Amino acid sequence: MRRNTTQRMAIEEVFRQNDRPLGVDEVLAYGRKLVESLNQATVYRNLKLLVDDGRLKRVTHPSLGTMYERTGKGHHHHFYCRACNHAYELPGCALNEDEIAPDGFVVEDHDVFLFGICPSCVR
Ligand SMILES: [Zn+2]
Ligand SMILES: [Zn+2]
Cα of 31 vs centre of ligand 2, distance in Å, is: 30
Among all ligands shown, which has an atom nearest to the Cα of 121?
1
Strand partners, 48: none
Give the model's pLDDT for residue 3.
63
Residue 32 burial by Cβ neighbours in a 10 Å radius (0-12, 13-18, 19+): middle
CATH of the domain at 53: 1.10.10.10
Cα of 112 vs centre of ligand 2, distance in Å, is: 7
Q: Nearest CA to 76 among 57, 62, 63? A: 57
Is residue 2's pLDDT more than 80?
A: no
**Cβ-contact 74, 82 below 8 angstroms:** no
In terms of domains, do 54 and 23 share one?
yes
Q: For the whole prediction, is pTM greater than 0.75?
A: yes
Q: Nearest CA to 68 among 53, 81, 110, 83? A: 53
**Cβ-contact 76, 90 below 8 angstroms:** yes
Question: How many domains, in total, are found in the chain?
Answer: 2
In terms of domains, do 47 and 104 share one?
no
Q: Pairing state of beta strands 76-81 and 113-116? A: parallel
Cα of 41 vs centre of ligand 1, distance in Å, is: 28
In terms of domains, do 59 and 36 share one?
yes
In terms of domains, do 108 and 53 share one?
no
Give the model's pLDDT for residue 63.
82
Average pLDDT, the chain: 92
Average pLDDT over every residue of 56-61: 92
Q: What is the pLDDT of residues 68-100, one digit of tens each?
A: 999 999 999 999 999 999 999 999 998 888 888
In terms of domains, do 48 and 106 share one?
no
Parent domain of 58: 2-70
In terms of domains, do 111 and 65 share one?
no
Cα of 27 vs centre of ligand 1, distance in Å, is: 17
In terms of domains, do 55 and 111 share one?
no
What residues are neighbours of ligand 2 (ion), with CB under 5 Å? 93, 95
In the structure, what pLDDT confidence band is assigned to residue 12 with cuts at 50, 70 and 90? very high
